[in-house]
Amino acid sequence: MQEAALCIALLFRAPYAHVEAAYMLAGLDGVAVISCESQWNAKAFRHEPRGHTSWGYWQIDDEWHVQYRGDLLLHLAAGAAIWQGCMDQAMGNFTLAVRIYNSGSRTGAIAWSEQVRAKRDSLALYVWRHVR
């Protein structure tokens, strides 16, 4: 697990401790979501059209969830919990979980969910090639 996290951290030039925490909390699926949502920018910030903000690695929307701007590890854990809830709602279907995570809907963000799936599959191959 540590070798996979190290490979991913090097690939994205991201802090190893943060990648390792995300990998331990949310697996490769969560790492792929973070890679697409924030490109491993811990301070990624977006003004949402409804007047709220999305922030951090997971791009947590403060309209729906608490943002932990002062504690990145707590932010990673909160995002992993949100992600797990989406996976539970989707009964383990990755692309459906991404749709729920990104749009709150089973029918929204279809193209985005395919991009995240492709990133996850690409990361899986990358890790497999470098860690085996």
pLDDT digits (tens, 9 = 90+) for 59-117: 888 777 777 778 889 999 999 999 999 999 999 999 999 999 887 778 777 888 999 99
The half-sphere exposure of 116 on its side-chain side, counting CA atoms within 13 A, is 28
Please choose, from the candidates 62, 58, 6, the residue with its C-alpha nearest in 3D space to the C-alpha of residue 36. Answer: 58
> Model's pTM, two decimal places?
0.90
pLDDT tens sequence across 115-127:
999 999 999 999 9
pLDDT tens sequence across 25-48:
999 999 999 999 999 999 998 887
User: What are the structural domain ranges in the chain?
Assistant: 2-125
Pairwise CA distance, residues 62 & 48, whole Å: 10
Pairwise CA distance, residues 73 & 126, whole Å: 25
DSSP string, 66-93: ---TT-HHHHHHHHHHHHHHHHHHTTT-
Q: Quote the pLDDT of residue 45.
A: 87
